[in-house]
Structure 1
Amino acid sequence: MDVDLRKLRYFVAVAEELHFGRAAARLHIAQPVLSRQIRALEHELRAELFLRDRRSTVLTEAGRQLLVDARPLLASAEALRRRVHRAAHGRPTFTIAFMPGIIVTAEARAIARLHPDLSVAVVRTSWNDQVEVVHDGRADVSYVRLPVDHRGLRLRPLFTEPRVVVLPRDHRLAGKESIDLADLAGERLLQDPDAVPEWRDLPDRRTDPEPRPRPELNSVEEKLEHVAAYAGMAILPLSTAAFYTRPDVVHVPVADLGHNQVCLAWAEGNRSPLVDEFVDIAVRQARAAGLSPQESAS
């Protein structure tokens, strides 16, 4: 049986919305059409994907498994489409993605010098899409900050750097030479705790009696705005905090917080020789900058 990618896209929309009406509106199709397509997919897979009644739509165990597998499959299909389109239309392109605080100018110039006919592009990412850009083909390689989901990726560790806490300038801990993570237990973490795994293990960390939804922060600038407005604190790599300076916030080293690992990531299925060349360039550049690349990982 061949899996119909269109039906998979429909399924993912329903799985994310958990509402056929909203999913149909998002897909710009009629709800009866969407329902028929989902029933057809269930018939093809011989599995019930949703439990539905008049009040709710929930994923079955089979549906949860399909959602895990469908997203990377759809991303790989989109990456294939992008690469074929670039190959068929004009000048070949190599795109480098990077996280805030990481400068890739030297590496971009190096790959461009080796391939004068190559159009080299860069794209800035965030915590939310730093690996997504290589899965869906928007970037050939991406400088990522761990932790990330390794599935479907190859990773090459490049260097580590300290992490700091960013606080309002008049905060009680501002001006300290260094603090411990426990000193922050009474503070509100603005980020997804997955970005700071140590926070989950911190005893007596702040928990609101009436938990407020964490603000959706998609950029460093948004994080700093919330910190400056006394909405909470943010943990950032030192290079990011130093790059995005402003007068109303400060950053303080956290002595017992592990360093942030920076890796180069690319899609497992991307076998372009340009990727191998760029990995060598990135490692050499890290060494030239006095950083300590570690052994490669997959």
Structure 2
Amino acid sequence: MEPIDEPYGQTGAEAQGLAPPIAEPASPKPTSIAPVWHTVLLILGILAVSLLGVYRHPGGPGVVVVNRLHTYGVTAGLEVVLMGWVAFGLRLRGMPFRSLLGKVSGDFRSIAVDVGIAILFWMGSLMALATLAMMWMSIEAAITHRPIPIPTGQSGRTTLPNSTEDKAARAVVQLAPENGQEIACWLLLCMLVGVAEELVFRGYLQQQFTAWTRGATAGGVVFSAVMFGAAHGYEGARAMFLLAVFGALFSLLALFRRNLRAGIFAHTWHDALAGLTVAFLHSRHVL
């Protein structure tokens, strides 16, 4: 038999009225939300401020007079500058600053859910960080042949060797609020820092690093977490490592919720409670 001629440009299936399978459209790769030079300058600025904090932050032995309100004001000013710079970068690409927050709803139920998730996240992350901190100190003690610091001496005060981490710990104690005015300013600062750092690190940098790694979510999480840890150089190597892990957990929370609101809640009260707890323990001569 003669082969049946098929219409030009059609396969057998098409000639019989069967359409070929339609290829699924490829998901668009994330695009950068600001110019490269803008992000590079932001990174250099964060690292410069962190390095400056290593040399200018208090923390030496003995009594050091610290103007806490001035320090709080300078820190707040830096946070505002960071947000302003990020807003400028987004404007260069025609993106609204609010887009960094993600998809948020203003109804009470949605806010309550984010509050509950933030509480659970905060409790779980603290347990994870405490475990990592003990592992770090155990390994450090084994390498340096130094015992893990424990409360000793009068009033249970902890006797600490003169190491970088211990100086950083003293610096944190010296910056904890001590009176009503300082507590009020500290709480306001924590709210500002919670919003600003989540917008900068989990909003801007995470999205930018994800775009730079060709849509790899892990790349955005890891690199933004490393930057978050590096931004706290004055707290020492141990704290920088733990904060990098903390930053990665915040990134995962943002991906889970598809917005930054739960992270902002957790970040704000973590800083606030940490400062108030340190102030209380210091007033009782525990620290």
If the length of structure 1 is used for normalisation, what is the TM-score? 0.22
Structure with larger Rg: 2
Structure with the greater relative contact order (CA < 8 A, sep ≥ 6): 1 or 2? 2
Indicate the structure with greater strand content.
1
